[in-house]
């Protein structure tokens, strides 16, 4: 006998997965916990019918399970945006039972707020890129702690720019630090040396992994884009053609202003919050670079500053327009027939 088509909602946990199976009319055929393995989930669901579409909230580990269900079980699986799903629920109560049912119902009626299921190689690249960024953040925090000790002990600016080689030599040898302050700063410098070695190793690994990636090679061909920026763009954006417009890409990168207009009042409230902070930071830093060295973006920057715009707003605007320009370069529109 031919199996009926069903829709599946999966509420993911490391210890198990709550599985809800729903038919086309919205009748719940099953809603219970299953072990966290694609084969166990597939066997349980396929007792009730043939899965048409499956939804799983995007969280740590969910992408791997979704990938297994797509490649091993042959299912069609969508990742759902957990924030939007929560808002659509409009219910203060939360349980695995209700969450799985909500996902199954949303995917059944076609209202599921989808996010991109990145392929395994992009998820692996993200691990490397984010690991390197964690090391860079640790290095920055250590430098801030050194600066805090110097301020506390009222140590002046020194003979050269901060973190230059002469300045570091001065701190280690001639600076008028207390005995305990010097001991702590020496330990901090040891930590900085260790972090420097780890960052170099992470960058070597990234260079090896992305050495033959054509998208990375194309990105570094743009003025102002180095390998670190290219790695971040490749890892966090993945594919440019998954966005329908340049505006969508810019909004994904967190470079679009938030609109807080009401009635006759028209106003912006800074950049949107829902974005990858590392990706946005990389593009803002790139905007500062191209504003200095690239004629087109330098002219835009000067024009906005002459109109009294603050530097932070200018950098965000340049980053926004540069990202849209990048999209048009990466996804050129086909020429119209005459």
**Do the beta carbons of residue 21 and residue 104 sit within 8 Å?**
yes
Query: Which parts of the chain register pLDDT below 70?
Result: 1-2, 259-269, 334-338
Sequence-distant (6+) residues with CB within 8 A of 208 are none
What would the DSSP string read from start to end of 28-47? EEEEEEE-S-HHHHHHHHTT
Count the helices and strands in the chain (H runs, E runs).
13, 8
pLDDT value at residue 1: 37
Give tens-digit pLDDT for 199-226.
999 999 999 999 999 999 999 999 999 9
| 93: helix, strand or coil | coil
Short-list 175, 169, 143, 131, CA closest to 156: 175
Query: Beta strand 28-34 with 257-259: parallel, antiparallel or unpaired?
Result: unpaired
Question: Which residue matches tokens 């009222």?
Answer: 154
Query: Beta strand 114-115 with 77-80: parallel, antiparallel or unpaired?
Result: antiparallel
Between the alpha carbon of residue 126 and those of residues 63, 117, 319, the distances in Å are 13, 13, 22
Sequence-distant (6+) residues with CB within 8 A of 276 are 236, 253, 254
C-alpha–C-alpha distance, residues 258 and 244, integer Å:
20
Sequence-distant (6+) residues with CB within 8 A of 329 are 222
Query: Three-state secondary structure along 190-251?
Result: HHHHHHHHHHHHHHHHHHHHCCCCHHHHHHCCCCCCCHHHHHHHHHHHCCHHHCCCHHHHHH
**Do the beta carbons of residue 52 and residue 5 sit within 8 Å?**
yes
Interior angle at CA 141, CA 136 and CA 146, nearest 5:
125
Helix 311-330 vs helix 295-306: crossing angle, to nearest 10? 150
Sequence-distant (6+) residues with CB within 8 A of 176 are 153, 155
Sequence-distant (6+) residues with CB within 8 A of 211 are none
Give tens-digit pLDDT for 250-300.
999 998 887 666 666 665 667 777 788 999 999 999 999 999 988 889 999
pLDDT value at residue 94: 82
What would the DSSP string read from start to end of 254-292? T-SEEE--BTTB--EEEE-SSS-HHHHHHHHHHHHHHHH
What domains, with CATH codes, occur in the chain? Answer: 5-115 (3.30.420.40), 121-209 (no CATH), 217-330 (no CATH)
């Amino acid at each position: 006998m031919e199996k009926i088509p069903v829709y599946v909602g999966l509420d993911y946990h490391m210890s198990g997965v709550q599985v809800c199976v729903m038919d086309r009319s919205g009748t719940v055929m099953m809603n219970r916990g299953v072990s966290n393995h694609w084969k166990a989930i597939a066997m349980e669901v396929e007792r009730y019918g043939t899965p048409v579409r499956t939804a799983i909230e995007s969280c740590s580990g969910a992408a791997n399970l979704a990938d297994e269900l797509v490649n091993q079980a042959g299912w069609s699986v969508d990742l759902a945006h957990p924030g939007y799903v929560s808002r659509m629920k409009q219910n203060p109560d939360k349980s695995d039972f209700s969450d799985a049912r909500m996902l199954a119902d949303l995917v059944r009626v076609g209202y599921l707020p989808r996010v991109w299921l990145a392929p395994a190689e992009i998820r692996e690249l993200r691990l490397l890129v984010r690991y390197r960024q964690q090391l860079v953040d640790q290095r920055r925090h250590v430098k801030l702690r050194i600066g805090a000790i110097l301020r506390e002990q009222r140590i002046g600016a020194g003979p050269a720019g901060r973190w230059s080689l002469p300045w570091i030599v001065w701190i280690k040898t001639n600076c008028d630090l207390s005995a305990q302050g010097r001991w702590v700063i020496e330990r901090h410098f040891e930590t900085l040396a260790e972090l420097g070695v780890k960052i170099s190793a992470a960058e070597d690994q990234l260079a090896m992994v992305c050495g033959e990636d054509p998208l990375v090679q194309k990105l570094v061909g743009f003025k102002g884009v180095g390998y670190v920026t290219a790695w971040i763009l490749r890892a966090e954006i993945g594919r440019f053609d998954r966005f329908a417009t340049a505006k969508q890409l810019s909004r994904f990168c967190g470079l679009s202003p938030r609109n807080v207009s009401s009635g006759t009042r028209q106003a912006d409230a800074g950049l949107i919050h829902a974005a990858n902070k590392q990706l946005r930071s990389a593009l803002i830093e790139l905007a500062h670079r191209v504003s200095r060295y690239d004629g087109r973006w330098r002219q835009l920057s000067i024009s906005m500053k002459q109109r009294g715009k603050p530097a932070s707003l200018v950098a965000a605007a340049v980053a926004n327009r540069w990202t849209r320009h990048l999209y048009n370069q990466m996804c050129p529109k086909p020429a119209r027939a005459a």
